[in-house]
Amino acid sequence: MEKNLTVIERDGQLLMDSREVAEMIGKRHDHLIRDIEGYAQILEETPTLGARNFFIESTYKTKQNKSAKHFYLTRKGCDMVANKMNGTKGVLFTAHYVTRFEEMETQLKKQLVPSYMIDNSIQRAERWIQEQKERERIESEKLFLEQQVTEYQPKVEKYHQFLDADGLMDIGSLAKVLNIKGFGRNKLFTFLKDQKILMANNNLPYQKYMGRGLFEVKSVPTSKIGYVSKTYLTAKGADYITDLISKRKPA
């Protein structure tokens, strides 16, 4: 996470390369490409949003001189990737890309003539208003980032010993954290199915709970059938389930 992300300016847009983003968040680039393609497909179904406002497809040459796909991410695109992450990696990636975008924006602003140097009074006033709005935007984003860190860090620390490198927790591990007598792993799965959070036939979460950032599904290897899909909780999801259990009616 120590490497600085590179921000480039192209046609008036500030962009980051998906290859650097993948390296920063500790994810295989082809997996990130797959995720971005999924996001883009959904965005294209809503014309007012448009995938290119978030992700711009491009190609690069590999060491073998072959063309390979990558994406440029706008600030909105980085926001979307970050919002799908939880735990320490999500917080650090958000902090890094917000900082790098701000630094690049500041550098570009230095190339502009400041408002006090413009002779025309109307243009000077317009530039001053633009500068104030930009300062307010930056301050607002800094506040949002600080709130994100404040929100996620206690959850990360609370479940730290049970979280994997991606900030995710096995559902069985939550049962250990809760340590409620008579409420072990199997009882927890039954509870989540009864609440219509997990599907009864495969233990996978319903999409609306995935969309809220409570769960992630990973393909994990098995000794018998290759790979299977397994449900994991995010720190946010662990808090949500814990709260649900605390409100349940006694049996």
- Predicted confidence (pLDDT) per residue in 5-36, tens digit: 788 888 778 899 999 999 888 889 999 999 99
Tens-digit pLDDT profile for residues 105-136:
777 666 556 666 667 788 778 878 877 887 78
Strand partners, 231: 217
pLDDT for 59:
93
pLDDT for 132:
81
pTM equals 0.46
Is residue 164 over pLDDT 90?
no
Strand partners, 234: 168
Q: What is the DSSP string of the chain?
A: --SPPP-EEETTEEEEEHHHHHHHHT--HHHHHHHHHHHHHHHHTSTTT-GGGTEEEEEEE-TTS-EEEEEEE-HHHHHHHHHT--HHHHHHHHHHHHHHHHHHHHHHHHTSPPGGG--SHHHHHHHHHHHHHHHHHHHHHHHHHHHHHHHHHHHHHHTGGG--TTSEEEHHHHHHHH--TT--HHHHHHHHHHTTSB-TTT-PBPHHHHHTTSEEEEEEEETTTEEEEEEEEEHHHHHHHHHHHHHSPP-
Q: What is the mean pLDDT of residues 72-90?
A: 83
Q: What would the two tokens of residue 68 be?
A: 């390979």
Q: What is the mean pLDDT of residues 185-190?
A: 88
Strand partners, 230: 218
Q: Is the pLDDT higher at 90 or at 41?
A: 41
168-192 in b/e burial notation, b at 16+ Cβ within 10 A? bbbbebbbeeeeeeebeeeebbebb
pLDDT for 166:
65
Confidence of residue 155 (pLDDT cuts 50, 70, 90): low
Q: Is the pLDDT higher at 79 or at 143?
A: 79
pLDDT for 56:
93
What angle do helix axes 18-25 and 75-83 make, rounded to 10 degrees?
A: 30
pLDDT for 1:
45
213-249 in b/e burial notation, b at 16+ Cβ within 10 A? bbbbeeeeeeeeeeeeebbbbbbbbbbbbbeebeeee
Is residue 251 over pLDDT 70?
no
pLDDT for 126:
80
Residues above pLDDT 70, as percent of the chain:
82
Tens-digit pLDDT profile for residues 50-71:
888 899 999 998 888 889 999 9
pLDDT for 162:
56
Is residue 158 over pLDDT 70?
no
Tens-digit pLDDT profile for residues 31-52:
999 999 988 888 887 777 788 8
Per-chain mean pLDDT for the chain: 80
Residues above pLDDT 90, as percent of the chain:
14
> In a 10 Å sphere around its CB, with 0-12 CB exposed, 13-18 middle and 19+ buried, how is residue 43 labelled?
buried
